[in-house]
Amino acid sequence: MKVGIIGSGGREHALCVSLKKSEKISKIYCIPGNAGTNLIAENIDLNLNDFEIIKNFIVKNNIELVIIGPEKPLVEGLADYLENENINVFGPNKIASQLEGSKTFTKKLCEKYNIPTAKFGIFHNPSNGIDFIKKSKFPIVIKADGLAAGKGVYICENEDQSIQAINEIFGGKFGEAKKILIEEFLKGEEMSFFVISDGKNYKSFGTAQDHKRVFEGDKGKNTGGMGAYSPSRMENKELDKKILEKIINPTLKGLKELKTEFKGFLYAGLMVINNEPYLIEYNVRMGDPECQTILPRLKTDFGKIILACINKKLETINIEWFDQKSLCIVLCSKGYPEKYENNIEIKNLDEMNLDKNEFIFHAGTKNIDKKIYSNGGRVLNFVVKSESFKKNRVRAIELINKLSWNYGFFRKDIGFKVID
Ligand code: AMP
Ligand code: GLY
């Protein structure tokens, strides 16, 4: 079967590598892909905002299945558009994608179905928000409602910071803002929890711990993710049961009552407090870099799992995992998540001899005349799998040093909670 993957990040390269091993998949197109996907798939440079051009390419090339990696095309309804043309899509429709596209949609769902989450208020103008802040305790969390590439969340320690956050969001820093959320600050440990669903049934799809802050010791600005490990150290049967019963099941029931369903990966960003889960946010896709650590642990043929979802037969598949632990360090362009330079050549990638438990997933990279150049803030993902997180980290750092790309930086402390 021919498959098309939409996206160009580390997540999409990891999806591509797992699908490539599948006995069900004969050819992969990546739209638009990166210099890593270019090694195993055919990259097609199409504008992701133009659904018709994407559809025409898929039809012309007899692509039988499309997997949508990132949130933006999902929230904008690419899955609905392609399905209307009788194209098989793995990824949720526009209504279900509101779980990520609108924080107020998710909060209202939480309220209706008693899903544990931070207490919150929704405010439609700056002065109401500021009045509320004046009566609040700190820290407090202020969020833009729509998609903001992981950046529209402020943790405020005092009134001045809160007022600045409210003014920035309503001032349009993350696009036009009609409302904001102000939330209680939850103190606990975060966990990324994944399920895969065919619209009828679902199965757990692993856990991971992301590292969102740019600097070591979880300091500095939020980023898309500087590294991750899988499984999360908090994974246990009792917590798993609580997450499914208190969070995932009522969410899927809520979607059903809206006369829709969820097909694809659902990613619950959780705060765990005393072994009790609270929902911080939903994403309607795999996490990046969580995907890069979870997929190498998958034992079952990934293509078979996705096809079972398309055929609403997920219940017939037993998803198996390797016991090993996996850890990912992201090599970023100096300056990220703020200003950084693109188009800097990355040499030595050809000379990196990786064994079967080591991976370099490309993110912001591109090819020009057979050479590889940087093309984004997060550039390469170094992933190592073994019986020990510590060994993984040592080896990932060794690989990054061997590459010796002087225009990059990375966190050396990924996994600090599970490594002494
Ligand atoms: P989000 O984009 O909603 O995942 O938020 C980004 C990050 O902000 C999360 O990963 C948390 O670290 C933090 N965060 C968001 N909401 C809260 C909250 N209510 N309490 C504590 N931390 C939060
Ligand atoms: N790693 C966080 C995210 O994918 O949103």
What is residue 177's predicted lDDT score, i.e. its pLDDT? 79
pLDDT value, residue 149: 66
* The pLDDT value given to residue 80: 98
| Whether the CB of 152 sits within 6 Å of ligand 2 | no
The answer on pLDDT for 228 being more than 80 is yes
Q: Which of 211, 285, 288, 332 most suits a substitution to test ligand 2, by most atoms within 8 Å of the C-beta?
A: 288
Tell me what percent of the residues of the chain surpass a pLDDT of 90: 90
Which of 138, 155, 187 to mutate for ligand 1's pocket (most ligand atoms within 8 Å of CB)? 155
Asked whether the domain spanning 325-409 has the same topology as the one spanning 2-91, the reply is no
Is the per-residue pLDDT at 251 higher than 70?
yes
Ligand 2 nearest-atom number relative to CA 286: 4
Mean pLDDT for 15-31 is 97
Rounded mean pLDDT of 257-283? 97
Least confident of 142-156, 274-288, 380-394: 142-156
61 pLDDT exceeds 70?
Answer: yes
> What's the fold here for domain 189-316?
D-amino Acid Aminotransferase; Chain A, domain 1 (3.30.470)
Q: Among the bound ligands, name the one nearest to the CA of residue 281.
A: 1
- Mean pLDDT, to the nearest integer, of 31-52? 97
pLDDT of res. 115:
98
pTM of the full predicted structure? 0.95
* Ligand 2 lined by 198 (C-beta under 6 Å): no
pLDDT at 252 over 80: yes
> Spelled out in words, what is the top-level CATH class assigned to the domain 325-409?
alpha beta
- When pLDDT is cut at 50, 70 and 90, the band that residue 142 belongs to is very high
Say whether pLDDT at 146 is over 80.
no
Task: With a cut of 90, say whether residue 202 has pLDDT above it.
Answer: yes
Label residue 201 by pLDDT band (50, 70, 90).
very high
Can you tell me which residue has the tokens 């898929």? 58
Task: Kindly give the number of the ligand 1 atom that is closest to the alpha carbon of 278.
Answer: 19
Q: pLDDT, tens digit, for every residue of 71-117? A: 999 999 999 999 999 999 999 999 999 999 999 999 999 999 999 99
Q: Which ligand is nearest to the CA of 11?
A: 2
Q: Is 69 in the pocket of ligand 2 (CB under 6 A)?
A: no
Q: How confident is the model at residue 152 (pLDDT cuts 50, 70, 90)?
A: confident
Cα 280 to ligand 1 centroid, rounded to whole Å: 6
- Tell whether the model's pLDDT for residue 383 goes beyond 80: yes
* pLDDT over threshold 80, residue 151: no
**Can you give the pLDDT at residue 150?**
61
Q: From the CB of 290, is ligand 2 less than 6 Å away?
A: yes
Average pLDDT, the chain: 95
CATH superfamily of 125-178: ATP-grasp fold, A domain (3.30.1490.20)
Greater confidence, 289 or 171?
Answer: 289
Under the banding of pLDDT at 50, 70 and 90, the label for residue 26 is very high
Q: Could you tell which of 210, 282, 361, 381 is best to mutate to test the pocket of ligand 2, judged by most ligand atoms within 8 Å of the CB?
A: 210
Classify domain 2-91 by CATH number: 3.40.50.20
Please check the confidence at residue 147 and state whether its pLDDT lies above 80: no
Residues flanking ligand 1, CB < 6 Å: 118, 141, 150, 153, 183, 185-186, 190, 212, 222, 269, 280-281
Annotated domain spans of the chain? 2-91, 125-178, 189-316, 325-409
